[in-house]
Structure 1
């Protein structure tokens, strides 16, 4: 038996990683770790039967309290909206509409990865869906036209992560539910950082192409203004869907859940209007949304149970007191937290990182004087970094599957965009007004 909360925290950390490295389900790993924590805590615990009774009561309460949430109902709806758009080839039309407008820009079609990912992220909320959808379309197109392979791969890896930052974001919804932070304000707070990140990516691409003209094929594609205007027909419906979904939230006319429901209806209307809606792809969209939602909810329930156990045995308070005793300045603390998230990103996916660490990290960060809304955006950046951090960067696996390139090539191509994202984290930390500029006006 272990009576020290800090010693117990270290033991449970090793137990949890043991479960995860043994390829057990993440939700199962979290719940099992919580039960083991209750069993190990304090030598004066009651008999084993009462421990299991207590664990069962805590588990039932945590599952109900964490999943019985109106705000969380937006999650499956946004996932379904993204699946419908992905499986009905609406994203292909989005790409075709962007091509004529980028031929005169330094870097030309490289920017399609940035723009297409930004736009698709604004209607899907998933980095994996964004990377897979845009990558399936752009990588082969750029290769056939003679564009540099590494810059194409890197720009896709970097821009694909914006599915978590540009609202509606699945990570923001999960963070808002777990931290009791306004999801609408999280969405609004992510707009300027998301646009800035997209701008930095495009600026880097333009600079590289100016310094290395061989990255861009010599052949010039000329489009008349008539062709450009006709291409808008492919883009405007998607813009309209983005405006309806996000505009309702920002104007205070709809909740995120209501906006998500409108988004599902809108994506069905677009698919029907483009004559891409079939019973087959509709059923595939439903099944994919159910699988993804069930997986996320299982993780949330497990994290909620672990969070209750952490509070019950006093780990959170003991850890908070220990960090306070170190007398770290707020910026040193956030630097340490950032390193921790980068290390966790090497072995865990983004959603797992949020639900596993938030119960412990959030109270410490808030006590240090940071706003929960700001920390939500900061955490999203950390999760984005985890998507392109080896060896478990999920976006890296997606790109590897799409491109059939070896992982070393992908990592080299991705590294500059990883550094750009680090730069963006530094800017958001030094100038939190970037996050609050729009939220203060709502």
Structure 2
């Protein structure tokens, strides 16, 4: 059977299963197993078993549960609440200070535990605090959600790890490449909040609280612990002292110690943290297995030659092809979760980018920046769904959706900046490695 017909059957079947509501992991794996059996016979099914075994026994994949465990320990330690209050003391009197603090805490949590903890904890802590101070709803909700999704691009990001395995690129290089774009995005958020609150003071009334320097200095202890953990984990990766897997182990241990030092560790916290870690890890591993089976089967049928011939036959500027790929990702991100988009598109788009002469690490970063946008775009944006789950009862879905356009605009500006100036993603990578 020709590779063109296989492509139609494979992707047509996959999209049909996804539309029917089949989870992405089982849709990817299921259509691959069925076509392997129909096209190559039962004797070829051993590839399914060997590929699955190879994936689940890869020692490098321990990075995922370890980073998740680190994030869960920090979530239960209450460190985000302490950081929010401590940074709030230092930014008292600054217009939009609570929103800026929320973004800062989300950046710190992203560096400690990836996506999720920022939105969950700041949604429970910062949003009610800002609404109590008569902050504009859109500013309060948008700053927390936008800050939370920074965990997609700022290492250690779980989606980066998944992407690295699927696209066969270096996790360490991907982590390094995400730092500068992530910090630029955070700075863009803060700049927007500052300008908006200066032009429209009613958006963020000043906090009526007197804060002494003694209180500010004493609050530093609540900032130093997570800062030390961030330096320990990311610093060891960036300076080549430890591999990402080793750094993840150090991070999980450090988070456990912080939880114990703050007297939050208990058997219940330990059980809940491990349970949540295993639940998410299981989901990620199943997706990774399905994606690998899909990729192995499609490659064995001649996908590489099809892609090469297709791209070579296109007599258009390579930047138009790149722009088309980004547009496809933006549209898919509105209707599918980022794991599904990565597992379906990364094995196809990364080889195309290489054929076109683009740096694979740079392309990976703009891909992930695109997925960061997906988290904030309705109707499927995970950040919107998570915020609805933790926001005060008076917050409606309409309020949440109305809050995101300015922040999505900032994300798209950063995406375009990185496309135009690749060194924003590559400078630190090649400087450190």
Match of 1:31 in 2: 29
Match of 1:244 in 2: 232
- 5 Å-filtered alignment, 1:422-433, equals 422-433=412-423
Instruction: Check conservation: 2:174, 2:361, Cα contact below 8 A.
Output: yes
**Change in 2 beyond 3 A, CA 1:177/1:16:** same
4+ aligned runs moved over 6 Å, structure 1:
none
- Decide which moves more: 15-24 or 202-211: 15-24
Match of 2:76 in 1: 87
Instruction: Check conservation: 1:387, 1:395, Cα contact below 8 A.
Output: yes
Match of 2:328 in 1: 340
Quote the Cα distance in structure 2 between the aligned partners of 1:141 and 1:316: 53
Q: Which of residues 107, 119, 123 is equivalent to 1:135?
A: 123
- Decide which moves more: 286-295 or 169-178: 169-178
**Change in 2 beyond 3 A, CA 1:113/1:327:** farther
Q: Is it true that 1:74 corresponds to 2:63 in the alignment?
A: yes
Match of 2:399 in 1: 409
Instruction: Check conservation: 2:94, 2:206, Cα contact below 8 A.
Output: no
Deviation, structure 1 residue 272 = 0.7
Quote the Cα distance in structure 2 between the aligned partners of 1:230 and 1:435: 37
Deviation, structure 1 residue 253 = 0.8
Q: Is it true that 1:269 corresponds to 2:267 in the alignment?
A: no
Q: Summarize deviations over 1:126-167 as a string: whole Å, max 9, x none.
A: x22321122111111111111111111111121111111111
Q: Summarize deviations over 1:411-440 as a string: whole Å, max 9, x none.
A: 221011111101100000100011111122
Quote the Cα distance in structure 1 between the aligned partners of 2:370 and 2:207: 39
Instruction: Check conservation: 2:111, 2:154, Cα contact below 8 A.
Output: yes
Quote the Cα distance in structure 1 between the aligned partners of 2:207 and 2:67: 40
Instruction: Check conservation: 1:95, 1:112, Cα contact below 8 A.
Output: yes
Match of 2:105 in 1: 116
Quote the Cα distance in structure 2 between the aligned partners of 1:136 and 1:375: 35
Aligned length: 430
- Decide which moves more: 227-236 or 29-38: 29-38
Quote the Cα distance in structure 2 between the aligned partners of 1:336 and 1:68: 37
Quote the Cα distance in structure 1 between the aligned partners of 2:207 and 2:361: 47
Deviation, structure 1 residue 378 = 1.2
Quote the Cα distance in structure 1 between the aligned partners of 2:308 and 2:410: 32
Aligned-residue CA RMSD (Å): 1.6
What TM-score does the superposition give when structure 1 sets the normalisation length? 0.93
Instruction: Check conservation: 1:428, 1:434, Cα contact below 8 A.
Output: yes
Q: Is it true that 1:13 corresponds to 2:11 in the alignment?
A: yes
Instruction: Check conservation: 1:66, 1:178, Cα contact below 8 A.
Output: no
Deviation, structure 1 residue 58 = 2.1
State the secondary structure of the residue aligned to 1:360: helix
Quote the Cα distance in structure 1 between the aligned partners of 2:8 and 2:142: 37
Instruction: Check conservation: 1:71, 1:173, Cα contact below 8 A.
Output: no
**Change in 2 beyond 3 A, CA 1:336/1:258:** same
- 5 Å-filtered alignment, 1:214-229, equals 214-229=202-217
Quote the Cα distance in structure 1 between the aligned partners of 2:238 and 2:183: 16
Q: Is it true that 1:258 corresponds to 2:256 in the alignment?
A: no
Instruction: Check conservation: 2:93, 2:206, Cα contact below 8 A.
Output: no
- 5 Å-filtered alignment, 1:137-152, equals 137-152=125-140
Q: Summarize deviations over 1:280-334 as a string: whole Å, max 9, x none.
A: 0110000000010011000000000000111122234313322331223221111
Match of 1:365 in 2: 353
- Decide which moves more: 314-323 or 140-149: 314-323
What TM-score does the superposition give when structure 2 sets the normalisation length? 0.95
Quote the Cα distance in structure 1 between the aligned partners of 2:136 and 2:9: 48
